[in-house]
Amino acid sequence: MPDISTAHEVLAVVFQVRQLSTRNPQLSVLLWERAMAPQRGAWSLPGGQLRHDEDMTSSVRRQLAEKVDLRELTHLEQLAVFSDPERVPGPRTIASTFLGLVPSPATPELPPDTRWHPVSALPPMAFDHRPMVLNAHARLIAKLSYTNIGFALAPREFALSTLRDVYDAALGYQVDATNLQRVLARRGVIVPTGTTAKSGRSGGRPAALYRFTEARYRVTDEFAALRPPT
């Protein structure tokens, strides 16, 4: 029987809510453009081969640091394994995907071949990287319901309208700011800071500012679900 070796790569699906200060905030994913065959010009997830002397989490952190200099990552966790024997040309390669989150309004420096792309308008992607993005987005949507993972996408301090915009962009549908505040406060996820935002040009009462109680991932209500409006 021939000796067939299996390679292993780690790939990061890194999300950030972009354009948060505009009327059209968007959940975006970090992709780099392939410069060589196969599938030259297609967009790919950052990552690469797992070394024999490192675990997967160390590997994906190393490769993110080397390739895109992402030092402002606030959350990173392993998600899924993609093991179709034909997923890439050449020797069989298994891929483990990780979910990474960058808060707004962080602006990591990126090399020229790397860009943020709206999840709602993904470009042509290499191999099976598109379903990886969609899988990670589905997992993020679920986690926004039953964990405090919003801390990894939101600014350190925020008005409720800003938090609503973060959740709207990440979920892909609108939520009510008052209901969101009520749910998260009841779970002990957010608290008021006792300060207010600066008044805008139109004046009016300054908005109260809030913050997440923890900058560490935890399950808050394992059976909860944030549902789209009917």
Task: Name, in order, each residue with C-beta under 8 angstroms of 60's C-beta and a sequence gap of 6 or more.
Answer: 10, 11, 12, 47, 76, 98, 100
> 5: pLDDT confidence band, cut at 50, 70 and 90?
confident
| Measured distance CA(108)–CA(111) in Å, rounded | 10
Cβ-proximal residues to 48 (8 Å cutoff; 6+ apart), any chain:
9, 10, 59, 63, 67
| Tokens matching residue 93 | 């390669």
Q: Do 7-132 and 149-212 show the same overall fold? A: no
Tens digit of pLDDT for each residue in 176-218?
A: 999 999 999 999 999 999 999 886 555 568 899 999 999 999 9
3-state secondary structure of 222: coil
d(CA 67, CA 110): 8
- Indicate the class that CATH gives domain 149-212: mainly alpha
Fold of 7-132: Nucleoside Triphosphate Pyrophosphohydrolase (3.90.79)
pLDDT at 50: 95
Per the CB < 8 A criterion, the answer to whether 81 and 135 are in contact is no
Burial of residue 217, with CB atoms counted within 10 A of its CB: 0-12 exposed, 13-18 middle, 19 or more buried: middle
Per the DSSP assignment, residues forming a β-bridge with 11 are 47, 97
pLDDT in tens, 153-164: 999 999 999 999
The CA-based angle 56-79-226, given to 5 degrees, is 150
Domain ranges of the chain: 7-132, 149-212
Tens of pLDDT along 96-136? 999 999 999 898 888 999 999 999 999 999 999 999 999 99
